A = this chain, B = another copy of it.
């Protein structure tokens, strides 16, 4: 791919989980060099030594920019989990400090604004921010079911209600996920994240507060309207399936082409073992 080579190497800022290395491998496999920037406090445990890499603290925007420019990177991708850092983990360098005011201003508006503020800072300095799915479309959930189990008609009703709810709540920059069972919204995700929400459903089941029978109910995830998918995309992985099993649900529905799947083989194996369905829905409509 000569076009890719003309674009120069790709800088990948790496949060936690397996996705950053998966993206690096897909991109490198296509012949485009990558330079990784694993973030302290998030990316520990990854095998970054296979690639050129530089560890950075969240606030070391200057260090990142120096290394990225020296390597000839103009394109930047951010990928992986990033719990909002405690102020002690930020370690801002001089460039980072000059950004603090704007970043704090962005934080008031929720995660979307925080991340897009940081993105704007990089773009003003001449970088181009891409979504991980643009450089490695292999990580996206396709349309249709990923594992053997299929959603029932009842599940499809729950999926439709969940998508309607997420659509209605979308202007509020709140969570991207709900649990629906028997046409009843059991849980809505906000700051606790999807895993936290699934744990709550498991606890509600254990205390008998959920009427819907074991093995019914669906986790529905969708991007927020206007969400900048370059920073924050709905994602699922093997851990999501574990949460579904603990919560006693029937399956997972996400928006095809707008959802990232981490470790797809392990996810499908776990789903098949637990007889959980995993479905990519076409653009907000039930397939």
Contacts and interface: CB of A to CB of B under 8 A. Distances in A.
A84 B209 CA distance: 6
A183 interface: yes
A284 interface: no
Tell me the number of copies of this protein: 2
A174 B184 CA distance: 7
Given A190-B188, A191-B209, A204-B191, A108 B183 contact: yes
A97 interface: no
A109 B183 contact: yes
Nearest to A154: B108
How extensive is the interface on chain A, given as a class?
35 or more
Contacts of A45: none
Contacts of A208: 84, 86
Interface stretch (A22-30, A165-173, A235-243): A165-173
A171 B173 contact: no
A211 interface: yes
Contacts of A84: 208-209, 211
A119 interface: no
Nearest to A104: B211
